[in-house]
Chains A and B, each alone.
Chain A
């Protein structure tokens, strides 16, 4: 058997559990299982949605019951996971993972909390930017709001507990730090993360063919842009 546990959620939903915490290796296995399941094209599977350590599978209960689906899912996932075992837990991100470059205007009006993050980290403002742009991140999952990416890979020195009082309005495109994670607000939302910058890119637009800029498992890199570049890109709808 593949090394995941199964928790039946509902008559039309299973949760496949690959671990219990937030770590890159567990999350990579979730994404690999997701892409294997999606590629298998099983009929009557309506949703395959990764989270940090679990994969939600929703299905048509007129076709499948929990037991029959679990058996098929286990058969489908076993080869993929055995390959992973042979690599002795090498953190094998799917080879198809895209790298998405995201321009960010750090600090100033775009990132009102950058000074607080710098102070908390004991770093200069520019060092915060340097460390935030140096890392390569993984989209662990999307949630909270349509298109909101939870990114793994934040430099540990930049970790910072959430604000005691959340903001009622965080502008769309805000790049923020919350605990060990960094994320991007796809639209104006309430939020308790620390805002260090803003991207002019539109993360979620239901009218686009691909409504979300980022998908689970994607890799992300940030690069710094100046305020005038931000204004120019934002005006052109980036």
Chain B
């Protein structure tokens, strides 16, 4: 099966769970910014949780499928039509061969995921199918999708719920509710729309070196996501934060979630394509459990921080992982029922 890209959208890339293990060679992980949303899209297609899917940014692509397929879309709310008919997101959706999938402009949030039953068939680079645009690494030599690109999907595993395809269902069954097609997940636990809850922030190595007023502003003021934000990092505009004394440091390891403070005094929250090393002070670290919420902030959105301890952050992360695993199990049970 092939998927042809008719319109690429604003920034659409192939992403999986990322490319760990190469930081010592200067190679970051990339991977889905909103990782739980990717996992849920995969679960809704009956895929492995780390299968590769499309990460969509603000404005979605238009695609044409060469064969029958099941797809699922998660993440930020986005208008989703098949041949002009509105469809549900956060649900497995059947797409007949030759149909056109149109994704519009996200109503809120910033990133969505389109998974296809079986996953996309692209050659892994250093063990991952993630696109790293800044390192020119991954599928399509690390570039975002363009009109005319053709994506292959995996067909090996005899997928596509053949007995569930609406066109294969015999007349006797037609009046029964379809166990898959009429079912939609509640996205709220995974996309908290409209809430302005602050992101939990762990103390960074250089937090204590901030001026007292700056330490206060960091948690009391509201920052705005700057237009010049991407998967490398979200630039935040707000009160100018300052150190008591200039912090001298040499290049050190970096990870996504770091809140870095360059000399401008305007912090940058690192995303999945952040550099693997950097020389600016770290005033904080976005709790891993809140990275999906960072991923969903778009330019102009407000952003606030609340202090958090490592213990609390790890507890919340593990609780989230358990909830996600329960959801995946539940979805799998429903798909095979």
Contact = CB atoms under 8 A, between A and B. Distances in A.
Interface of A: 7-13, 15, 20-22, 34, 46-56, 58, 61-62, 65-66, 141-148, 150, 187, 206-207, 211-212, 215-216
A142 B317 contact: no
A187 B20 contact: no
Interface string B228-267: 0000000000000000000011111111011000000000
A-B complex: 4 closest residue pairs judged by Cβ atoms? A56-B253, A49-B23, A143-B277, A142-B26
Given A10-B288, A143-B276, A51 B253 contact: yes
A50 B314 contact: no
A49 B276 contact: yes
A61 to B, nearest CB: 6
A16 to B, nearest CB: 10
A145 B255 contact: no
A238 to B, nearest CB: 19
Given A15-B253, A53-B250, A141-B277, A46 B21 contact: yes
Contact of A7 (B26, B205, B288, B318): B205
Nearest to B26: A142
Contacts of B285: 9-10
A146 B253 contact: no
Contact of A187 (B136, B253, B275, B318): B136
Given A11-B288, A61-B317, A142 B250 contact: no
Nearest to B313: A11
Interface of B: 20-27, 125-126, 135-137, 202, 205, 248-255, 257-258, 275-277, 282, 285, 287-288, 310-311, 313-314, 317-318, 321
A217 to B, nearest CB: 9
A162 B58 CA distance: 38
Given A13-B255, A47-B24, A212-B25, A65 B314 contact: yes
A11 to B, nearest CB: 5
Given A62-B321, A143-B277, A150 B24 contact: no
A48 to B, nearest CB: 6
Contacts of B202: 8, 10-11
Nearest to A22: B250
A11 B317 contact: yes
Contacts of A7: 205
A47 B275 contact: no
A12 B35 CA distance: 15
Contacts of A49: 23-24, 253, 276-277
B24 A48 contact: yes
Given A9-B253, A10-B257, A206-B137, A50 B288 contact: no
